[in-house]
Amino acid sequence: MPKDPAVLLYTSDFLTGTAFFTDAERGQYIRLLCEQHQIGHIPENHMVTVCLSLASPVVKKFTRDENGFYFNARMDEEIRKRLEFTESRRKNGEKGGRPKDQNKPLGKPVALATENLGDNENDNEDLIGIKGGIRGDFIGKIIDVFAEEYEFINQIQYAQMTKGKERAAAGKILKLHKNKNPNMTSDETLESLKLYFKRCVSIQDDWLRTNMSLSIIVSKFNEINNKLKNGSKRTVNGNGVTDAELAGIVASKFATDRPE
C-alpha cells in the first residue's frame, strides 16, 4: 500500500508554536515533522544531524518513545486521524459511496432542485442543470460539495443532523449565489461554492470551525463573511494567494449583506 502523501497541517498552530524560532529552526522543525510522517519515529543521531544539538529548542517539540526514538505527539495524532479517515472513505467506497438522500421523492428531480429559489422558474434553468443537461438534485450536489470540503479539512465524516433543515440551508445559499451571479453555469456555481465552503470550514475561529454546517453558514452569514474578509494579509496559501486576497475573491463572487 503506497505511503499516504498528506496529513493535515494547521498553519495557525504552526506559526504560534514556532513564534520564537529562527527561520533555520522552523526549517528544521518542518523537515523533522515531514520525516516523521513518511518514515516514522526518528533516531537520536538524525535529530542531532538536523538540529546540530539535542539542546536545540526544536528537539523540545519531540518526545522519546520506549525505544529512544523521537516523535512529535501532535503529528502522531494527525497521522492516526488521517488513517481513520481514509479507511472510512475506503469502506464507504466499497458500499457504493455516500448514502443517497432517502427523503427525495422519485420522479421529481426538477421540482426539488427549484424549491425556494424564486418565483420565475425559468431564471434558474441553467443553474439547476436543465440547459446544461444535468439531471437530478442540484441541492444535493451542493450538500455533497460542502460535505467533501468539511471531511477533507476535518478528517471526519460530515453528519447531517436534520436533512430537511440542511436542504433548506443549501437552498438559501444557492439563491444568494444565483442572485449575485445570474449568468453562472451549474459547473461554475459548484466550483465557486466549493471555494467558499473551503474557506468556511477552515475559518480561524474555534467555535465556528468546530460547528460549521450549511445551517450555521446561513444563521451566522454576516459574521462568517466578515471573518473571511478580514483574514491575515501575511499568510500565503499553496496557490500563492494571501488570505485577504482569497477572501476578496470569495466576496466578489458571493458576498451580500443579508442571508435572506
Statement to judge: residues 201 and 143 lie in one domain: yes
Give the residue numbers spanning the domain of 51. Answer: 11-80
Count CA atoms within 13 Å of residue 237 on its CB side. Answer: 14
Mean pLDDT of the 110-126 span = 35
Statement to judge: residues 151 and 51 lie in one domain: no
Residue 239 reports pLDDT greater than 70: no
**Taking phi first (over 0 means left), then psi (-120 to 50 degrees means alpha), and beta for anything else, what does residue 10 get?**
beta
CB within 8 Å of 61: residues ≥ 6 apart = 17, 29, 72
Q: Would you say how long the chain is, in residues?
A: 260
Statement to judge: residues 76 and 119 lie in one domain: no
Please check whether residue 139 is in contact with residue 105, taking contact to mean a CB–CB distance below 8 angstroms: no
Residue 95 lies in a domain: no
Q: State the chain's mean pLDDT as an integer.
A: 74
Statement to judge: residues 118 and 75 lie in one domain: no
pLDDT for res 113: 32
Residue 200 lies in a domain: yes
pLDDT for res 56: 95
> If DSSP states are collapsed to H, E and C, what string results for 86-143?
HHHHHHHHHCCCCCCCCCCCCCCHHHHHCCCCCCCHHHHCCCCCCCCCCCCCHHHHHH
Beta partners for residue 242, in sequence order: 236
Work out how many domains the chain is built from and give that number. Answer: 2
Cell 433548506 found at: 168
Cell 450555521 found at: 216
Cut 0.85: pTM above it: no
Closest C-alpha among 54, 75, 80, 61 to residue 17: 61
Statement to judge: residues 150 and 113 lie in one domain: yes
Residue 252 reports pLDDT greater than 70: no
Per-residue pLDDT tens over the stretch 129-149? 433 333 347 888 888 888 888
Instruction: List the single range of 72-81, 99-108, 226-235 with lowest mean pLDDT.
Output: 99-108
Per-residue pLDDT tens over the stretch 50-67? 999 999 999 999 999 999
How far is 71 from 48, CA to CA, in rounded Å? 14
Residue 249 reports pLDDT greater than 60: no
pLDDT for res 68: 93
Statement to judge: residues 174 and 126 lie in one domain: yes
Determine what percent of the chain is predicted with pLDDT higher than 70: 69
Per-residue pLDDT band for 72 (boundaries 50, 70, 90) equals: very high
Statement to judge: residues 135 and 189 lie in one domain: yes
**Domain end marker among 30, 45, 80:** 80
pLDDT for res 150: 84
